[in-house]
Structure 1
Amino acid sequence: MDIIIHFFRSYPEMAIFLTLGIGFWIGSLKYKNFSLGTVTSVLLVGVLVGQMNIDIPGPLKSVFFLLFLFAIGYSVGPQFFQSLRSDGIHQVIFACIFGIVCIGSTYLIAKIMGYNAGMTIGLFAGAQTISAAIGVGTDTIGTLGISAEKQQEWLNIIPVCYAVTYIFGTIGSAYILGTLGPRLLGGLEKVKNDTRALEKELKQDNEENDPALMNANRPVVFRAYKIESDWFKTPQTVKEIEKHIKEMGRRVFVERVRIDGEVLDITPKTVLKQGDEVVLSGRRETIIEDESWIGPEIFDPELLDFPVEDIFVLLTNKELHKKTVRHLRSLPCMHGIIIKQIKRSGVEIPVYPKTVLYKGDTLEIVGLKREISETAPTLGYVDRPTNKTDMIFVGLGILIGGIIGALTIHLGGVPISLSTSGGALLSGLFFGWLRTKHPTFGRVPEPAVWIFNNLGLNMFIAVIGITAGPTFLSGIREAGFMLFIAGVLATTIPLLLGLLIGAKVFKFRPAINLGCCAGARTTTAALGAIQESLGSTLPAMGYTVTYAIGNTLLILGGVVLVLLSA
């Protein structure tokens, strides 16, 4: 054992990787729907490893935490700024009110319990499941000018309070919003019926028969047919054929033809007759529903040998901002193009005709290569898969944010600043938004964002756990059982008030109300519970805007709570 302890004390970086490896493994384990989650698991494993009294160099955790905050800002930046001037302003105002309720209720509970600034931050981070508040709170405590002994005492108690309150913060949020919430809003069946009615309104008409509006689990197929129907005794143009199919209540595209033995690409004026062969595209069930109008299906490798692309496009065309999917689909350039998926702030939202698009959304589209090459520039910037991150953009972004965050003003002798971590978050917001304006630079691929988010935060949490390990048990005794009760109250009160405010003040439909509460509290686990309970992805339409605002507001709330508590 002495050899093991000596090894980890000599090479503290190995202790961090040990903590990450075991922590991620434990975090992946589930019992039914229960899981500790990665962050809590890493913290607890770090506390265990920290019993070996391992000294971790100071700057290490800050570097990774700054990467995490910049990545968070970068992810939600486009939606954050777009939401401030869009039709979603009601959701923005709701998220601001909800965030103030979260911060205010936590502060009042901590005040009643007599908690110091460290305990208040730990309570806030755990009960509101906003792990990043630990970092900004820690940085802010470091700027207060208090004695080193008191500062260390406050810092040591933060992970204790976080660990005690986080589990109910996660499980309780999912239960309140996913199970209790629908019952409070009129009953589960009533909320389900309202959700189905809202889906029907957003789908409007013909959605089920329109392959341009598809769900990812409904594949598009390309099938070849030999034209034998009597309808083609009079030769028909491609335009007339597609019009005829539409009048049949379906939407299918003509993609390629063989005329007189020669394989050709088509135009709207291409004329087809009996004996010719044609390739049709559309949803599988739409194409095979009735083939008698055209002729028998054939197997023709040469005719079906053509490139089809499935790509992601960053929506940057300002003419399409705040336009619906139906409007987008009606554009001539969208002929033959299928909208497979829409992502906003990294969250997939339903593809309905009345779904409103915003600059910064990512659209996954499918079509022939020539069609994609014509359509993509009209929509915006093609986000082709790459493993290259613009580290100039990331490095300078964090530096600029850190400089701004380090600026300090004094009010009544109290130093006030955003701290370098708060500055990195705001910088990420700005640079994420800037890329929607100039998408040719500043690319941070989704896998890189995942690494910055997960490795950045958990590396920071691992160091926090290892450092707090020696004093963790004494901290548990000091905090007492009432800390858990305080966490339950700090989790529950804002969620119940949020549901009430959303329903009575903002008049949100139940599914949107539940999604807004989950987003404003930045609890993805609760969003999953809501969607499972309602059997619909519709709540995601209330999640994205409020998530962008809530994430920013709650993280910066860590700064506010330290200043208020101190």
Structure 2
Amino acid sequence: MHWITSVLQQYPELAIFLTLALGFAIGPLKIKTFSLGTVTAVLLVGVVIGQLKIDISPTVKSVFFLMFLFAVGYSVGPQFFRGLKKDGLPQMGFAVLMLISCLVFPWLCAKFMGYNMGQAAGLLAGSQTISAVIGVAGDTISGLPLTAAEKTDYTNVIPVCYAVTYLFGTAGSAWLLASVAPAMLGGIEKVKQACRELEAKMGGGNEADQPGMISADAVIVFRAYKVTNDWFSDGKTVKELEAYLASKGYRLFVERLRQQNNLVEAAPDVRIRKNDLVVLSGRRENIMNEDQWIGPEVQDHELLNFPAEVLSVLISKKEISGIKVSELRAKPFMHGIFIRSIKRADIAVPVMGDTVIDRGDTIELIGLKKEVDKAAVQIGYADRPTEKTDMMFVGIGIVLGGLLGVLTIHVKGVPISLSTSGGALIAGLVFGWLRSQHPTFGRIPAPALWMMNNVGLNMFIAVVGITAGPGFVDGFKQVGVSLFLVGAVATALPLITGVLLGKYIFKFHPALILGCTAGARTTTAALGAIQDAVESKTPALGYTVTYAVGNTLLIIWGVVIVLLMR
């Protein structure tokens, strides 16, 4: 044990990676439906390893924290600026008002309990489940005219308070929004019915609009049939067959034919006759019954051997931004092409006829390669898989954000600035928006973005835990068990406020109230619990704009609460 301690003290980088390994192993473990989560697990493991009194340069955590904040801003930037548009303003207004309550209630609780600025910041971070506040608040404290001992004490107590209040902040939020909030909106059955009505209004269940939430189970398939129906006795053109299928409510397309043993590419005026073989494409549940009408399904490897493609496309064209899914499907270049999924700020939104497509969304198209490639040009930018990250873009973004953050103004002798961390967040927002407008540069592939988000944050948290470890026990004694109850109050009141705001002030649809409330609090776990409870994906429609605003303001609140407590 002495040897291990000596090695970790001499090589602190090994202590960091040991903390990450154990935290990522413990975090996902569940007791029934509860789990610590990776961030909290990494923090607690870091605290334990920190008892060995390992010194780590603060520069290490700063580097990874800036990387994390830039990635957060980059991810939500398009939706943040979309919220400034007319149709997004109500949700943005809701988010701002609710987020003010997310600051005010923890602040009032801290004042009532007599907490110091470090304890208040930890209460805010844990009760609102925003880990980044640990770093932002710490940076703010370090810039205040305090003694070195005071700065250390205040900074070290932040992760202690975060760890105590985070448990209810996560699990309690999911329970409140999935169980209590629907009761406040008239009961779970009433909310379920409202969600079903919204789905129907937006095109849910109507195959003419190819609605419904697209999942891995609802795949697009290509199948071959032998034409035996007498309807084809006099010959029907491809256009006539597709129109007839559309009249039955099916969006199916003819892709290829075999006529008299010759392969024929489908064209609108090509005639289909009895005994021809025809390939149809469409959703599996629509196409699987066509052997009862067209004729029996056949296996013809040569006929079915043609290139199909699944392609992610970043929406960047002005003429596509703001239109509905049903309008996009009706475009001539979408003939034979299906929309398999839509992601907004990395959140899946339901694919329905009335779902509005925004600039910066990523939609997944499936169809013949030549047709998908043509459609991609009309829609935006083909986001083909790549391993390369535009590091010049990332580096310049973080530097410019940091330079903005270090600018300081003095109010009554108190220095106020965004700090380098706040500046990196703002830069990420702007650069993420620029990428959505001009997708030919600034690409960060999804795996790289995951690394920046998850490894960046958890590397920072690991260093925080190890550094705060020696004083963690004393800090826990200082805040007391009562902090858990105070944290529960600070978690619940903003969520209840959000539901009441959505119901009585903004008069949102129940699904949007739940989604907007979860989004403003940036609690994805609660969104999943809500969708399970109401048996609908529609709450996701209210999640993305408020999530972008929440990710921004909650981090900035880390600066504000320190100044308020001072």
TM-score interval, smaller chain: over 0.9
Compared CA separation, residues 215 and 474, structure 1 to 2 (3 A):
closer
Maintained 8 Å contact 1:139/1:419: yes
Maintained 8 Å contact 1:212/1:337: no
What residue is the counterpart of 2:347 in the other structure?
Answer: 347
What residue is the counterpart of 1:420 in the other structure?
Answer: 420
SS in 2 for 1:357: coil
AA of the residue aligned to 2:102: C
Q: State the Cα distance separating 1:208 from its structure 2 match.
A: 6.9
What residue is the counterpart of 2:392 in the other structure?
Answer: 392
Counterparts of 1:330-345 in structure 2, within 5 Å, are 330-345=330-345
Q: State the Cα distance separating 1:129 from its structure 2 match.
A: 0.3
What residue is the counterpart of 1:366 in the other structure?
Answer: 366
Maintained 8 Å contact 1:213/1:340: no
Match status 1:224 vs 2:202? no
Name the stretch that deviates more: 378-387 or 108-117: 108-117
Q: State the Cα distance separating 1:534 from its structure 2 match.
A: 1.0
Maintained 8 Å contact 1:216/1:341: no
What residue is the counterpart of 2:556 in the other structure?
Answer: 556
What residue is the counterpart of 2:152 in the other structure?
Answer: 152
AA of the residue aligned to 2:383: D
Counterparts of 1:138-177 in structure 2, within 5 Å, are 138-177=138-177
AA of the residue aligned to 1:174: A
Name the stretch that deviates more: 49-58 or 192-201: 192-201
Cα deviation per residue 1:278-336 (whole Å; 9 max; x = unaligned)? 11111223223243543332221110000110110000111111110010011111111
AA of the residue aligned to 2:166: Y
AA of the residue aligned to 1:232: F
Aligned length: 566
Maintained 8 Å contact 1:318/1:359: yes
SS in 1 for 2:31: coil
What residue is the counterpart of 1:495 in the other structure?
Answer: 495
Rounded to whole Å, the distance in 2 between the matches of 1:344 and 1:44 is 33
Counterparts of 1:240-319 in structure 2, within 5 Å, are 240-319=240-319
Name the stretch that deviates more: 176-185 or 227-236: 227-236
Maintained 8 Å contact 1:229/1:274: yes
Q: Could you tell me the percent identity over the aligned residues?
A: 56
Cα deviation per residue 1:93-142 (whole Å; 9 max; x = unaligned)? 00000111111111111111111111111010000000001111111111
Rounded to whole Å, the distance in 2 between the matches of 1:259 and 1:552 is 60
Q: State the Cα distance separating 1:251 from its structure 2 match.
A: 2.5
Compared CA separation, residues 209 and 418, structure 1 to 2 (3 A):
closer
Maintained 8 Å contact 2:205/2:211: no
Compared CA separation, residues 341 and 418, structure 1 to 2 (3 A):
same
Compared CA separation, residues 214 and 188, structure 1 to 2 (3 A):
closer
Counterparts of 1:466-477 in structure 2, within 5 Å, are 466-477=466-477
What residue is the counterpart of 2:538 in the other structure?
Answer: 538
Maintained 8 Å contact 1:101/1:494: yes
Cα deviation per residue 1:516-559 (whole Å; 9 max; x = unaligned)? 11100011111111111111111111111100001101001111
Rounded to whole Å, the distance in 2 between the matches of 1:281 and 1:557 is 51
Maintained 8 Å contact 1:229/1:292: no
Q: State the Cα distance separating 1:260 from its structure 2 match.
A: 3.0
Cα deviation per residue 1:402-434 (whole Å; 9 max; x = unaligned)? 000011111110000000000000000000000
Q: State the Cα distance separating 1:204 from its structure 2 match.
A: 5.8
Q: State the Cα distance separating 1:212 from its structure 2 match.
A: 10
Rounded to whole Å, the distance in 2 between the matches of 1:556 and 1:191 is 34
Maintained 8 Å contact 2:92/2:546: yes
Rounded to whole Å, the distance in 2 between the matches of 1:247 and 1:536 is 28
Maintained 8 Å contact 1:231/1:293: no
What residue is the counterpart of 1:320 in the other structure?
Answer: 320
What residue is the counterpart of 2:462 in the other structure?
Answer: 462
Rounded to whole Å, the distance in 1 between the matches of 2:532 and 2:205 is 26
Maintained 8 Å contact 1:211/1:282: no
Q: State the Cα distance separating 1:509 from its structure 2 match.
A: 1.5
AA of the residue aligned to 1:281: S
Compared CA separation, residues 45 and 332, structure 1 to 2 (3 A):
same
Maintained 8 Å contact 1:520/1:543: yes
AA of the residue aligned to 1:117: M
Cα deviation per residue 1:45-103 (whole Å; 9 max; x = unaligned)? 00000000000012000000000000000000011101211412111000000111111
What residue is the counterpart of 1:506 in the other structure?
Answer: 506
Where in structure 1 are there 5+ consecutive unaligned residues? none
Maintained 8 Å contact 1:207/1:353: no
Where in structure 2 are there 5+ consecutive unaligned residues? none
Match status 1:126 vs 2:126? yes
Rounded to whole Å, the distance in 2 between the matches of 1:267 and 1:122 is 65
AA of the residue aligned to 2:392: I
What residue is the counterpart of 1:106 in the other structure?
Answer: 106
Cα deviation per residue 1:221-261 (whole Å; 9 max; x = unaligned)? 21112223222222221111111222233231100112332
Rounded to whole Å, the distance in 2 between the matches of 1:490 and 1:211 is 40
Cα deviation per residue 1:431-480 (whole Å; 9 max; x = unaligned)? 00000111011100111111111110111111111001111101111111
SS in 2 for 1:318: coil
Taking only aligned residues, the RMSD between alpha carbons, in angstroms, comes to 1.4
Maintained 8 Å contact 1:516/1:543: yes
What residue is the counterpart of 2:522 in the other structure?
Answer: 522
